[in-house]
Amino acid sequence: MYVIWGAAGTVGLATAKALRHASLPVRAVVRNAAQGDALAKLGCEVVVADLHDALALARTLDGAQAVQALVPLPRGEARPADTMRATIDGIARVLAAHRDVPVVALSDYGAELSENTGITTLFHAFEAALREVSSQLTLLRSAEHLHNWQRVLPVALASGVLPSFHDPVDKSFPAIAAADVGVVSARLLREGGALRGTRLVSVEGPARVSASDVARAIEKASGRAVKARALPRDQWEATLAQGGLSPQHARLVIDLFDVHNAGRIDVETPASERAFGTTTLEQAMAAMLGSNRAS
pLDDT in tens, 252-262: 999 999 999 99
Q: What average pLDDT does range 3-25 have in this prediction?
A: 97
Query: Is residue 68 a contact partner of residue 104, using CB atoms and an 8 Å limit?
Result: yes
Q: What is the pLDDT of residue 76?
A: 80
Q: At what angle do helices 211-222 and 281-294 cross, to 10 degrees?
A: 50
Taking the C-alpha atoms of residue 185 and residue 190, their distance in angstroms, rounded to an integer, is: 9
Q: What is the pLDDT of residue 40?
A: 97
Superfamily of domain 2-294: NAD(P)-binding Rossmann-like Domain (3.40.50.720)
Q: Which amino acid is at 111?
A: A
Find all residues with CB under 8 Å of 70, minimum gap 6, and list them: 5, 6, 9, 11, 12, 105, 106
Compute the residue count for the chain: 295
Q: What average pLDDT does range 271-277 have in this prediction?
A: 92
User: Per-residue pLDDT tens for 76-98?
Assistant: 888 999 999 999 999 999 999 99
Q: What is the pLDDT of residue 48?
A: 96
Q: What average pLDDT does range 263-273 have in this prediction?
A: 90
Query: Is residue 130 a contact partner of residue 103, using CB atoms and an 8 Å limit?
Result: yes
pLDDT, the chain, mean: 95
Q: What average pLDDT does range 116-136 have in this prediction?
A: 96
Percent of the chain with pLDDT over 70: 98
User: Per-residue pLDDT tens for 36-83?
Assistant: 999 999 999 999 999 999 999 999 999 999 999 999 988 888 899 999
User: Per-residue pLDDT tens for 131-188?
Assistant: 999 999 999 999 999 999 999 999 999 999 999 999 999 999 999 999 999 999 999 9
> Is residue 117 very low, low, confident or very high in pLDDT (cuts 50, 70, 90)?
very high
Alpha-carbon torsion 211, 214, 220, 223, what sign?
negative
Q: What is the pLDDT of residue 291?
A: 77
Find all residues with CB under 8 Å of 82, minimum gap 6, and list them: none
Q: What is the pLDDT of residue 211?
A: 98
Find all residues with CB under 8 Å of 15, minimum gap 6, and list them: 4, 7, 68, 182, 183, 185, 186, 189
- At CB < 8 A and 24+ separation, what contacts does 247-251 make? 248/78, 248/79, 248/80, 248/81, 249/77, 249/78, 249/80, 251/118
Taking the C-alpha atoms of residue 81 and residue 273, their distance in angstroms, rounded to an integer, is: 29
